[in-house]
Amino acid sequence: MERASIQSSPVRPFRSPGRGPRPVASMSGPRSGPRSGPRSGPGSGPRSGPVHIRIDDLRGPDVAGLLREHLAAVAVHSPPESVHALDLDALRAPSVTVWSAWEGPALAGCGALKELDARHGEIKSMRTASSHLRRGVASALVRHLLAAARQRGYGRVSLETGSQEAFAPARALYARFGFEPCGPFGDYVDDPNSVFMTTELPTTA
């Protein structure tokens, strides 16, 4: 399962397996908000400084520790067969890009975007550091991931999260960004422990 004034870093040229790099524009321009609802996520509180989001190579101990925490937390609420969170090795696959969010030297959160096909991406590994909860970090990451998806030319972004009450805040956050319930996608199958959500991205002329 997967679960601010913000200055965004440029999105790296993305290389899918078997395809050449796809050019991507800089993300230094105006931010795009959610398709519906307010910009900030539920429970956003005051921030002590700007959050910077950048592509992460997964070599740092802080990000590795946060992702291990993410895997452990998911396992608490879901049976093993219903855990779909990616470990560090899986997140290093060519089809996956990971971003980390920082407030000064402090890690605030992380999130990833996995290419399912040329028009469809999946949000993975969303996690906010416990020291930065309710500061809008998750909203900033979702906004950044959706902007990256649009720049890659995706027409749809989907995700899988938990059906348990512990995942209700995540489901509410995604709903604020226009995600709606859907059926299983990709390699997923129906699972009472999973909720699948998706959103269509506007096409550019």
10 has a pLDDT exceeding 80: no
What is d(CA 112, CA 86) in angstroms, rounded to the nearest whole number?
Answer: 10
What pLDDT was estimated at residue 76?
83
What is d(CA 17, CA 51) in angstroms, rounded to the nearest whole number?
Answer: 31
Q: 127 has which bridge partners?
A: 110
Residue 156, judged by CB atoms within 10 A of its CB (0-12, 13-18, 19+), counts as: middle
Characterize 100-125 residue by residue with b for buried, 16 or more Cβ atoms within 10 angstroms of its Cβ, and e for exposed: bbbbeeebbbbbbbbbbeeebbbbbb
The percent of residues above 90 in pLDDT, for the chain, comes to 67
What pLDDT was estimated at residue 74?
85
Positions of E strands within the chain: 6-8, 14-15, 21-22, 51-55, 96-103, 106-117, 120-128, 156-162, 180-182, 194-200
With contact defined as beta carbons under 8 Å apart, do 95 and 16 qualify? yes
With contact defined as beta carbons under 8 Å apart, do 135 and 44 qualify? yes
Mean pLDDT of the chain: 81
With contact defined as beta carbons under 8 Å apart, do 122 and 131 qualify? no
197 has a pLDDT exceeding 90: yes
What pLDDT was estimated at residue 204?
62
Which class does domain 44-200 fall in?
Answer: alpha beta
pLDDT tens-digit readout, 110-138: 999 999 999 999 999 999 999 999 999 99
Among 58-62, 69-73, 107-111, 179-183, the range scoring the smallest mean pLDDT is 69-73
What pLDDT was estimated at residue 49?
66
Q: Distances in Å between the alpha carbon of 58 and those of 12, 114, 148, 163? A: 15, 15, 19, 28
What is d(CA 165, CA 119) in angstroms, rounded to the nearest whole number?
Answer: 31
DSSP H helical segments within 78-157, as ranges?
A: 88-91, 137-152
Question: Would you call 199 helix, strand, or coil by DSSP?
Answer: strand
Higher pLDDT, 15 or 109: 109
15 has a pLDDT exceeding 50: no
Q: What is the average pLDDT across 1-21?
A: 41
pLDDT tens-digit readout, 139-176: 999 999 999 999 999 999 999 999 999 999 999 999 99
